[in-house]
């Protein structure tokens, strides 16, 4: 078969088949001559018993048919029928004991998939940003929807206050008040610059005089100003969020809540989470007869704490280590330190293997274009990012990158949400420098008044942090005073499959500026290292959707950035084309 014929066949997707009955809820007919597959949604009654769900799932591995959760619930939770004979009562007691023992045995043996079927949706409120960053978002196995500091003004009404030495609380609260004052001043100062920027992008909106148009203009400017001013807000700032985890992740929380740089607040929150679950299922932590081995790891007993104890024996190691990191990184935010030089050949071979074609039938460049060229791969224009489930696009998993990064805590809070690109998060206790160690946002650097206010606010918070340490405050407690702009240093690794989606989303002109510029730095290095792959890894959603023929080209609706980026697009001009 000729190469051009192969490419044409794989490049032209079959039309999507609309499954009959889906729009109006009617059942579709079975495509099988045999008995059709059965699908059952477990209702709230079953999902509210994580213990029973785990047991039913385990029993289903060996049974002739799926075990019913409600049967486990009746066996374990309900009182036996008083009319049962002694023989049946004894048999029931034996089966109940087996279920209780199995739950603990599954846990001890590491058969933990059974614990992941139950999921819990928690609403967390009045929780510090420090607790979220240092613990609840510092791993890949969660889902959160957190209030945005771009879209909501921070009033300062909700701030975490740790227990401090005598005289420490007054000093702490003055520092918090100074940060809020600096935040408000910066919003006011920056609004002048962003008003000009916004008027350049949307001149008609700037000239409109109706109350609705004026409010729309002012709201847009306010959001951009808040986005930058938030860099002086402390990690003590309260937040609220929906947080969803599996039963397995919640058990891990319970053991590891005393990580050395996680505030005591984290242990309190985790205990409350477990209390909430135990209120609906008293067997979540096992039974009295067969408890799970959940010995909590204390702050001084964790792996990180032990390593830090050894490290602290060397005076001055912190500053030296951070200086060494910065020297190897250089001036940028993110440095590509690992990539397979044969990655393009590897990706090509993987694509050909999925399709079952030879290198003579499909060249390397054509193989790569099958997964990365939007004109050949319509999945790239789909909002669900189908790569995670596409057999062909899973070939992108074989190309991996490792970056050495130095970014702000504000950016890392967004970076954590891309859980496919995983990092070794720093223990903040080892990053408490004597002098301010922060990034300066671009919008502040361009305005002398804003820069002066920014420096003064950061210095006030940093000085308060140093004073509290000299008064005997614990290092963990003063972490609350670190501003969002504090630098974090770490290494991050991910596959092309996960980085591609991250870069596409963060190269959008609506993305917050710091993470946008980090994405641009990373993509530029990938394009230089792997040019055949890199020529397709270069743009925001509108550019990718334009190539795939997806409409509307910009998916942001009324949040459109004001720049038709996809027109005459080149990666080399992406930074200079962005206005705000």
Q: What is the pLDDT of residues 374-419, one digit of tens each?
A: 999 999 999 899 999 999 999 999 999 999 999 999 999 999 999 9
* 25 pLDDT above the threshold of 70: no
The confidence band for 480, taking pLDDT boundaries of 50, 70 and 90, is very high
Does 22 score more than 60 pLDDT? no
Confidence check: pLDDT of 29 > 90: no
Q: Is the pLDDT of residue 5 over 60?
A: no
Spatial distance between the Cα atoms of 21 and 24, rounded to a whole number of angstroms: 6
> In this predicted structure, what is the pLDDT of residue 550?
92
What single DSSP character describes residue 175?
A: H
If pLDDT is split at 50, 70 and 90, which confidence band does 564 have?
very high
Q: Name the more confident of 40 and 440.
A: 440
Contact 246, 115 (CB under 8 A): yes
CB neighbour list of residue 401: distance below 8 Å, 6 or more residues apart: 336, 338, 339, 493, 494, 495, 496, 499, 522, 526
Considering only the C-alpha atoms of the chain, give the largest distance between any 2 of them, rounded to a whole number of Å. 86
pLDDT tens digit sequence for 321-349 = 899 999 999 999 999 999 999 999 999 99
Token pair in block for residue 450:
């804003």
pLDDT tens-digit readout, 123-151 = 999 999 999 999 999 999 999 999 998 88
pLDDT of 261 over the 50 cut: yes
Let me know: does 404 contact 525? Beta carbons within 8 Å: no
pTM of the model: 0.90
Spatial contact of 529 and 336, defined as CB atoms under 8 Å apart: yes
Using the predicted structure, report yes or no on whether residue 38 has a pLDDT greater than 90: no
Q: How confident is the model at residue 312, as a pLDDT?
A: 56
Indicate if the pLDDT at residue 6 is higher than 50. no
Q: What is the mean pLDDT of residues 6-19?
A: 42
Q: What is the pLDDT of residues 81-98, one digit of tens each?
A: 888 899 999 999 999 999
Q: What angle do CA 374, 378, 384 make, to 5 degrees?
A: 110
Residue 281: pLDDT band (50, 70, 90) is: very high
Residue 300 has pLDDT above 80, yes or no: no
Q: How far is CA 103 from the centre of its chain?
A: 31
Does 565 score more than 60 pLDDT? yes
d(Cα 50, Cα 120) in Å, to the nearest integer? 9
Q: What are phi and psi of 491, to 5 degrees?
A: -110, 145
- Return mean pLDDT, the chain: 89
Q: How many CA atoms lie within 13 A of 279 on its CB side?
A: 7
Q: Kindly state the tokens that stand for 430.
A: 């080892």
Distances (CA, A) of 79 to 44, 89, 92, 241: 21, 11, 11, 38
pLDDT in tens, 542-551: 999 999 999 9
CB 270 within 8 A of CB 254: yes
Mean pLDDT computed over 517-538: 97
Residue 37's pLDDT is what?
64
Q: How far apart are CA 111 and CA 58, in angstroms?
A: 9
Q: At what angle do helices 496-506 and 541-548 cross, to 10 degrees?
A: 110
Tens digits of residue pLDDT in 428-459: 888 889 999 999 999 999 999 999 999 999 99
Which stretch of 19-23, 331-335, 472-476 has the lowest confidence by average pLDDT?
19-23
Percent pLDDT > 70 in the chain is: 90
Reported confidence tier of residue 12, pLDDT bands at 50, 70, 90: very low
* Contact assessment for residue 432 and residue 235, using Cβ atoms and an 8 Å cutoff: no
Instruction: State the average pLDDT over residues 467-487.
Output: 95
Residue 2: pLDDT band (50, 70, 90) is very low
Element (H, E) at 574: helix 574-577
Cα atoms in the Cβ-side hemisphere of radius 13 Å centred on 147:
17
294 — pLDDT class (breaks 50, 70, 90):
confident
- Tens-place pLDDT, residues 192-231: 999 999 999 999 998 998 999 899 999 999 999 999 999 9
């Amino acid at each position: 078969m000729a190469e051009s014929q192969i490419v044409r066949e794989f490049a032209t997707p079959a039309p999507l088949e609309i499954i009959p009955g889906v729009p109006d809820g009617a059942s579709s007919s079975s495509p099988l001559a045999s008995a059709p597959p059965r699908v059952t949604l477990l209702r709230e009654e079953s999902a509210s018993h994580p213990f029973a769900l785990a047991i039913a799932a385990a029993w289903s591995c060996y049974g002739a048919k799926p075990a019913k959760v409600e049967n486990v619930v009746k066996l374990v939770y309900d009182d036996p029928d008083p009319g049962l004979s002694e023989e049946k009562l004894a048999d029931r007691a034996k089966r109940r004991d087996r279920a209780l023992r199995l739950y603990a045995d599954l846990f001890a043996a590491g058969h933990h998939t059974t614990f992941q079927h139950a999921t819990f949706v928690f609403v967390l409120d009045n929780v510090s940003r420090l607790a979220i960053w240092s613990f609840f978002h510092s791993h890949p196995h969660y889902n959160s929807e957190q209030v945005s500091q771009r879209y909501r003004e921070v009033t300062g009404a909700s701030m975490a206050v740790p227990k401090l030495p005598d005289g420490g609380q007054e000093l702490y609260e003055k520092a918090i008040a100074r940060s809020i004052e600096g935040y408000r001043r910066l919003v006011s100062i920056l609004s002048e610059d962003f008003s000009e920027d916004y008027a350049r992008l949307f001149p008609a909106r700037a000239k409109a005089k109706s109350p609705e148009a004026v409010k729309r203009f002012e709201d847009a400017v306010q959001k951009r100003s808040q986005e930058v001013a938030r860099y002086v807000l402390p990690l003590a700032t309260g937040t609220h969020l929906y947080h969803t985890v599996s039963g397995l992740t919640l058990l891990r929380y319970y053991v590891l809540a005393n990580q050395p740089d996680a505030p005591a607040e984290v242990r309190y929150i985790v205990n409350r989470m477990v209390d909430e679950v135990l209120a609906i299922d008293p067997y979540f932590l096992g039974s009295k007869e067969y408890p799970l081995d959940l010995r909590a790891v204390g702050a001084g007993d964790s792996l990180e704490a032990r390593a830090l104890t050894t490290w602290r024996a060397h005076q001055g190691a912190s500053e030296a280590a951070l200086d060494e990191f910065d020297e190897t990184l250089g001036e940028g935010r993110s440095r590509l330190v690992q990539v397979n030089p044969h990655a393009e050949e590897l990706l090509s071979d993987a694509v050909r293997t999925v399709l079952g074609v030879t290198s003579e039938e499909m060249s390397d460049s054509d193989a790569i274009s099958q997964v990365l060229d939007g004109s050949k791969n319509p999945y790239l224009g789909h909002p669900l990012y189908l790569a995670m489930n596409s057999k062909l696009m899973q070939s992108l998993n074989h190309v991996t990158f490792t970056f050495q990064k130095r970014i702000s805590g504000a950016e890392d809070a967004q970076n954590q949400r891309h859980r496919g690109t995983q990092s070794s998060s720093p223990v903040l206790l080892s990053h408490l420098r004597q002098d301010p160690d922060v990034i300066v946002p671009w919008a502040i650097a361009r305005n002398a008044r804003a820069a002066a206010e920014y420096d003064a606010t950061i210095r006030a918070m940093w000085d308060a942090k140093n004073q509290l340490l000299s008064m005997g405050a614990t290092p963990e407690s003063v972490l609350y005073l670190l501003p969002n702009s504090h630098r974090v240093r770490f290494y991050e690794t991910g596959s092309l499959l996960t980085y591609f989606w991250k870069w596409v989303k963060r190269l959008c002109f609506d993305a917050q500026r710091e993470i946008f510029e980090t994405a641009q730095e990373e993509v530029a290095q990938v394009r230089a290292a792997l040019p055949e792959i890199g020529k397709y890894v270069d743009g925001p959603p509108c550019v990718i959707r334009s190539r795939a023929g997806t409409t509307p080209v910009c998916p942001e609706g009324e949040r459109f950035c004001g720049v038709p980026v996809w027109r005459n697009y080149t990666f080399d001009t992406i930074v200079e084309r962005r206005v705000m």
